[in-house]
Chains A and B, each alone.
Chain A
Amino acid sequence: MKNENSKIMTAKDAISEFVHDGDQLVIGNYTVGSCAELIYEVIRQGKKDFTLYSQSGIFDVEVLVGAGCVNRLITTYVLRAGGRKGGSAVERALNAGTLEIEDYTNFDYNARLVAGMHGFTFIQVLEGVMATDLFRKRSFMGEDKFRVIKCPYTGKDLLTVPAANPDVCIVHVQRADKSGNAQYWGALGSVAAAALASKRIVVSCEEIVEHDVIRSSPHLTIIPAYRVSAVVEIPWGAHPTEVLGHYNIDFFMYGLFVMADGTADGLKAWMDEWIYGCENRAAYIDRYIHRFGSGILDGIKAKAFYSAPANYGSAFTTRWDREGRERNMGLTMEELEKTLRERGKLYD
């Protein structure tokens, strides 16, 4: 039976319904805990023509660009596999003319999403980059990559960037409830801004929890349910990257990926096996264990280190004390109603 309040879906259905060709797509995660399975599902469904935003375009950007899903990339940092002798999908696509890139600093990129998240049309950023090629060299954004304005209060030149409001954010977190309240902790980075700036949000999580868990730890919620389009429960959903409290980075699988990524053929073979060759995350983990055993995965599972509980309690939860008297006025309900009538406050 479908629960009305539930946004729980499979990755396949969520991506199919909420991620469209030509979208501005933002990867919510920053360096750590990448939404690997949602990305793989985007690739498997052959979605294309994205303008892709990624704060730290490493693993996520390489596979999406390598699969030919991306026309335009807005980022601050890309992967280079194998050092000076190696290469990357981004480098290959730039040289083939199939990809345009706009480079920002970490702060500038994040500031665009912060502006978008709060409904502003632009935001002031740190003016130092005006001395650099980040400011001077522009690609598809042209004049709108950065603009300089006068501060109306000090008369100083201010560097600004335009707000970003991507069409859809895909993001992985530790836990969420069925209605989409998403909780994430650790390196906060720019995860909340990326999600909240976006028009649609698809959340994947290591576990779906009861709503009571969310209610008693609201400081961990980074995306409120009313903003979320779909929730997908995907254990190991960020593998081979890491999720705090669940598992560490898998250097073995990450190493296989990095070794493959240096050439187009290598990356294609890796993706054929680990993305196109696995219909979902369960199949991916099965294949992993079949190929390499379960020893590596067992070895990277987190040992618990719990946060001290924060006490959200208060003195009482009703205006009426144990004797049934209102706590400030000291009256029972009967006495209150009698007083209201005596004072002419009640109308029949």
Chain B
Amino acid sequence: MTKPYTLQELLVIAVAKEIRDHENIILGVGLPTTAGALAKTLYAPHATLMMESGIIDFEPLLPLNHIADAHSCRGFSYATDLFSAFTMTYRGFVDVCFLGVGQIDKYGNVNTTAIGDYYKPTMRLPGSGGAADFLSYAKRTVLTMLGGNFVNKLDYMTSPGYLDGGDSRDKSGLFPKGSGPAMLLTTKGVFRFDPETKEIYLAQIHPRVSIDDVKKDVPWDLKIAPNLSETPHPTDEEIDFIRRFAPAMSAGRELSLELTINNMMKKAKPT
């Protein structure tokens, strides 16, 4: 009998398994950091972890607060700058990067900039940051969507997926052959892209989720893999690592924030 797990823990592990040994990985904040640390500890000890701010080859001791967080490690091997972190991606030295998603369409194009009109947004999202260039040039990109939506048409296209599907990405001449989103992780499952049509499909479903639960979030007739698998129950080793390394990740954002505020309010005492 293995330990019980939280949904967040399941998600981190699903992402970590995309990292292979000896790869160069650019980590983003949140779930990818924990996934990178987990992968390096358990599955990919020779992976080189990088941050786009130019922190290259670090051993994370804490989850990153942001992508310029030298406080999360004790030193690192190579201090370069942001400009070089991107040109090394452009030149093909980065295997995997991770991006969060606000809106995604059928072909893996991504919006992280604005909901509604760009100039007078209903909701202004963060923007590109490194996203558009990473999704352009990393060999593989892992997308994570925890609060976002599937849409027929993006309100703003921040980062290029497979454009209009088929061979349109390769034909554009703008991107390295074979690059693009490799998978999308949501709270309900793992999605991949058809090798020919580049249309997104459901490849793996999390426990306690039905296909209908997944389909109701998608405004087109979502394709399902014939060999659809279920995300496996995490091992004790995986759960122990995540809970010790990133306990707030295990708890999830809302609960950890509530507990943090309560604790901080107690600690803040006037003199």
Residue ranges of A at the interface with B (Cβ–Cβ < 8 Å): 30-32, 55-56, 75-80, 83-84, 88, 90-91, 94-95, 97, 103-108, 110-111, 114, 126-134, 137, 139, 185-190, 192-193, 242, 244, 248-249, 251-252, 255, 289-296, 305, 307
Q: How would residues 59 to 79 of chain B score, 1 for a CB under 8 Å from any chain A CB and 0 otherwise?
A: 000000111111100110001
Residue B236 lies at the interface, judged by CB distance under 8 Å to chain A: no
Contact A255 B261, beta carbon cutoff 8 Å: yes
Tell me, rounded to whole Å, the shortest Cβ–Cβ distance linking A89 to chain B.
10
From A31, A132, A289, B132 is in contact (CB under 8 Å) with A132
What is the chain B residue whose CB lies nearest that of A219? B79
Contact B160 A132, beta carbon cutoff 8 Å: yes
Contact B269 A31, beta carbon cutoff 8 Å: no
Tell me, rounded to whole Å, the shortest Cβ–Cβ distance linking B192 to chain A.
21
Main secondary structure of the interface of B (DSSP, over half): loop
Nearest first, the 8 A-B pairs at minimum CB distance are A128-B136, A187-B68, A187-B53, A292-B268, A91-B124, A186-B70, A107-B86, A31-B68
Tell me, rounded to whole Å, the shortest Cβ–Cβ distance linking B129 to chain A.
4
Residues of chain B contacted by A107 (CB below 8 angstroms): 82-83, 86, 130, 133
Residue B239 lies at the interface, judged by CB distance under 8 Å to chain A: no
Residue ranges of B at the interface with A (Cβ–Cβ < 8 Å): 51-55, 65-71, 74-75, 79-83, 86, 90, 113, 118-121, 123-133, 135-137, 147, 156-160, 163, 172, 174-175, 260-261, 264, 267-271
From A190, A249, A292, A294, B65 is in contact (CB under 8 Å) with A249
Residues of chain A contacted by B121 (CB below 8 angstroms): 91, 94-95
Contact A56 B132, beta carbon cutoff 8 Å: no
What is the chain A residue whose CB lies nearest that of B154? A133
Residues of chain B contacted by A255 (CB below 8 angstroms): 260-261, 264
Contact A187 B264, beta carbon cutoff 8 Å: no
What is the chain A residue whose CB lies nearest that of B29? A31
Contact A90 B124, beta carbon cutoff 8 Å: yes
Contact A103 B113, beta carbon cutoff 8 Å: yes
